[in-house]
C-alpha cells in the first residue's frame, strides 16, 4: 500500500512541475524580440511625426510669409479717394528722407513700390544685415483706416485728398505731418471743419531677410509716428527672397505707352531690376514674389542636393540636412493698375 501511494504521489508531482531553464530562456528571448520590435515601431512613429511636424511648419511659414507680402503689395499705391488723374513721378523719392516727402508728394504717389538689390541705401530707414540671398522691397501707400481722434492715431506724415472740384479747384492732395495744414475740403466744398476731407496715415513698409535667433527670417521695417521703427521679425525659415516687377509699357493698341497712348493696366513684361529705373517704377502694375523656405531643424541622415530656381535667380544646392520648398505668386497692384484700365 505504501509503495503504490508513493508512486502515485511522485507521478502527480512530476506532472505539475514548472518551466525548465531552457523554456524560460526561450520565453525571455521571445519577449525581448517583441519589445525590440515595439521599440523600433515607436522610434519610427516618433521620427515620422517629427518630420511631419517640420514639414507642416515649413508649409505654414511659407504660406504666412506669402500672405503678409501679398496683402501689402496688393494695397501698394492706395491713396484713399484719389481719382485717375495721377501725375507722373519726376524722380525716385528717397524713402529715408521724410523731410523731403511733402515737396515730393507726386513722386511718392506715382511710385508705389521700389526694389533694391540689398540694404546699403536704406540704412537711414533702419534696414541692416540683409542676407546675400535677399532682395529688398519697399511699399508706399495710405492707410486703409481714416484718421480721427478715436482711431488710427499717428503723429507721422498723412495724406489728404481733396474732393472739391469747383471753379477754382484747390490742390488735389496734400502730404504733411502738421495737423494744421489739412484744410482740403470734401465734395461739398464747404469751408467748415466738418466738411474737411479725410486724411490717412502714410504707410511705408520695407521687407527683407536677415538672421534672427540663428534663423534666416523675413523682416519688416515700418514707419510709425514719423520714424522708422526697429526691424520686426515676421517669419522664420525664409532663406531667399526674390522679386520680379510687371511693367505696363504698351497701350491697348500694342504700341509703347506715351502721353497720348496710356497703358492698359496689364503687365506686358516682368523684369528683375534692383534698383529699377524711374520709367520702370512708374509703370509697375504687378509683382512676382519668390520665397525659398527651409525647415527650422535639420533632418538626420538627409542631404539636400537640389538646386532651386526663383524666377531668373538660380540657387545652388546647399548639401545640408535642411528640407526646402519654393513658394511663388503674382500679385496685382490693384490701385495703380485699376487707374489705367479703360472701358
| Alpha-carbon distances, residue 7 vs 4, 14, 17, 190, 255 (angstroms) | 5, 11, 16, 127, 119
Residues 6+ apart with CB under 8 A from 136: 115, 116, 117, 118, 119, 122, 127, 130, 206, 207, 208, 274
- Sequence length of the chain is 343
Between the alpha carbon of residue 32 and those of residues 19, 27, 44, the distances in Å are: 18, 9, 18
Per-position DSSP letters for 244-259, written without gaps between them: EEEE--BBTTSSBP-S
Q: How far apart are CA 232 and CA 202, in angstroms?
A: 19
- The number of beta carbons lying within 10 Å of the beta carbon of residue 291 is 25
Which residues contact residue 83 at a Cβ distance below 8 angstroms, ignoring those fewer than 6 apart?
A: none
pTM assigned to the model: 0.85
Distance of CA 200 to the CA centre of its chain: 24
**In 3-state terms, what secondary structure has residue 237?**
coil
- Which pLDDT score, from 0 to 100, does residue 49 have? 73
User: Which helix or strand (DSSP H or E) is residue 338 part of?
Assistant: helix 334-340
Residue 223, C-alpha cell as written in the block: 514707419
The DSSP element (H or E) to which 106 belongs, if any, is: helix 105-110
Predicted pLDDT of residue 164: 86
What confidence tens digit (pLDDT) does each residue in 56-106 have? 999 999 999 999 999 999 999 999 888 766 778 899 999 999 988 888 888
Cα distance between residue 162 and residue 65, in whole Å: 36
| Residue matched to cell numbers 520590435 | 37
Listing from the earlier edge strand, what are the strands of the sheet with 284-294? 269-271, 238-247, 284-294, 324-332
Q: Which portions of the chain are predicted below pLDDT 70? A: 1-19, 84-85, 149-151, 167-169, 343
CA dist., res. 10 & res. 73, Å (int): 95
Tally of CA atoms within 13 A in the half-sphere of 150 that contains its CB = 0
pLDDT number for residue 153:
81
Q: How far is CA 227 from CA 43, 112, 119, 154, 155, in A?
A: 52, 19, 17, 11, 10
- 215 cis-preceded (ω within 30 degrees of 0): no
Amino acid at each position: 500500500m505504501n509503495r503504490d501511494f508513493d508512486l502515485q504521489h511522485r507521478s502527480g508531482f512530476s506532472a505539475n512541475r514548472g518551466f525548465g531553464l531552457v523554456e524560460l530562456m526561450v520565453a525571455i528571448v521571445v519577449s525581448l524580440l517583441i519589445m525590440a520590435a515595439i521599440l523600433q515601431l515607436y522610434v519610427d512613429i516618433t521620427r515620422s511625426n517629427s518630420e511631419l511636424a517640420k514639414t507642416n511648419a515649413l508649409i505654414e511659414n511659407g504660406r504666412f510669409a506669402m500672405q503678409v507680402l501679398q496683402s501689402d503689395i496688393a494695397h501698394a499705391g492706395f491713396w484713399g479717394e484719389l481719382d485717375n488723374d495721377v501725375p507722373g513721378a519726376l524722380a525716385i523719392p528717397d524713402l529715408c528722407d521724410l523731410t523731403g516727402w511733402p515737396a515730393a508728394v507726386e513722386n511718392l504717389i506715382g511710385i508705389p513700390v521700389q526694389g533694391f538689390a540689398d540694404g546699403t541705401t536704406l540704412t537711414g530707414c533702419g534696414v541692416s544685415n540683409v542676407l546675400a540671398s535677399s532682395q529688398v522691397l519697399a511699399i508706399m501707400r495710405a492707410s486703409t483706416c481714416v484718421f480721427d481722434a478715436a482711431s488710427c492715431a499717428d503723429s507721422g506724415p498723412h495724406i489728404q485728398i481733396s474732393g472739391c472740384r469747383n471753379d477754382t479747384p484747390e490742390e488735389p492732395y496734400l502730404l504733411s505731418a502738421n495737423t494744421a495744414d489739412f484744410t482740403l475740403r470734401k465734395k461739398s466744398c464747404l469751408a467748415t471743419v466738418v466738411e474737411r476731407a479725410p486724411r490717412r496715415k502714410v504707410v511705408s513698409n520695407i521687407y527683407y531677410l536677415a538672421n534672427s535667433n540663428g534663423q534666416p527670417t523675413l523682416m519688416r521695417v515700418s514707419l510709425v509716428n514719423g520714424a522708422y521703427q526697429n526691424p520686426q521679425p515676421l517669419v522664420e525659415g525664409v532663406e531667399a527672397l526674390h522679386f520680379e516687377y510687371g511693367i505696363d509699357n504698351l497701350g491697348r493698341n500694342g504700341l509703347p505707352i506715351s502721353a497720348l497712348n496710356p497703358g492698359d493696366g496689364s503687365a506686358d513684361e516682368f523684369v528683375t531690376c534692383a534698383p529699377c529705373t524711374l520709367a520702370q517704377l512708374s509703370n509697375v502694375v504687378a509683382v512676382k514674389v519668390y520665397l525659398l523656405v527651409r525647415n527650422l531643424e535639420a533632418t538626420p541622415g538627409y542631404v539636400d542636393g537640389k538646386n532651386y530656381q526663383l524666377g531668373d535667380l538660380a540657387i545652388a544646392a546647399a548639401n545640408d540636412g535642411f528640407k526646402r520648398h519654393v513658394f511663388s505668386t503674382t500679385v496685382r497692384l490693384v490701385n495703380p493698375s485699376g487707374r489705367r484700365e479703360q472701358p
